[in-house]
Amino acid sequence: MFIDTHCHLHDDKLADTDKHVEEYLRDGVDIAINAACCALTSEKGKDLAEKYPSVYFMTGCHPSDIGGFDEQELLRIEKLTAHPKCVAVGEIGLDYHWEPFDKEKQQKGFIRQIELANQYKLPICIHSRDATADTLKILKENKAKLQYGAVMHCFSGSKETAAEILKMGLYISFAGPLTFKNANNLVEVAKFVPEDMCLTETDCPYLTPHPFRGKLNSPKNVSLVTARLAEIKGLNVDDMAEKVMNNAKRLFYKLEK
Ligand code: NI
């Protein structure tokens, strides 16, 4: 019934994958999509997807790992795009949070991977942190290459930014922070985003939802994020979960119907 549209099952903290997959399946999570950070984690995602029927994966290079993004890295990432369980290019984007960062290299890497996704007819999963203006600028300038869709993952921006994203036809994904006690702004955003444009995710192993903050996060916790979204939207959890699943299958069209 639930889908975790963005997790990092490849992370060493979740190394006991048998246990985590078993747990989330038992708790009603039918699908987990592994988001990549680099070529190596793209390949790890592919291995997990080949091992577990419920796992799908993205291929791509995260802006914070862009230092290692060269032609060879791009080739390894590109090699995975045609895999039947590779549902998107991601996570890609801009991150101006952790110094030092190379804005120009991040922007070039972001655009190059938008082109890659378009070439292989895949949607993209966008990471944007402390970089809203530049992210929106690049998305607008490359609008023609976004015809296979996109999602702004772990959204933490304003209602105004959400409005701009929706205007471009992009999905908005909510993670653990939506469940936090001080999430007033995010709650307003969640009220504002139409039900058919919402996705939910864990971004695990980090950002554990309430009431498990401080503990290890895993895909099973996506039910807590979806339940909070349902509450905000005035829907029951099952209906919200079904809508999110339908939205995810519309965007990540390679997911089995
Ligand atoms: Ni992530």
| Residue 96, φ and ψ in degrees, nearest 5 | -105, 30
Strand 171-174, strand 2-7: pairing: unpaired
Q: Does the predicted TM-score (pTM) go above 0.85?
A: yes
DSSP character string of 36-57: PSSHHHHHHHHHHHHH-TTEEE
Separation of CA 209 and ligand 1 centre (Å): 15
CA distance to 88, 110, 133, 257, per residue, from 65 (Å): 18, 11, 21, 33
pLDDT along the chain (257 residues), means of 10: 98 98 98 98 98 98 95 97 98 94 97 98 98 98 97 96 97 98 96 98 97 96 98 98 98 89
Separation of CA 143 and ligand 1 centre (Å): 23
Separation of CA 204 and ligand 1 centre (Å): 7
pLDDT at residue number 138: 98
Separation of CA 182 and ligand 1 centre (Å): 22
* CB atoms closer than 10 angstroms to residue 257: 5
Q: In what order do the strands lie in the sheet with 86-95?
A: 2-7, 29-34, 55-59, 86-95, 124-129, 150-152, 171-174, 198-200
Separation of CA 6 and ligand 1 centre (Å): 6
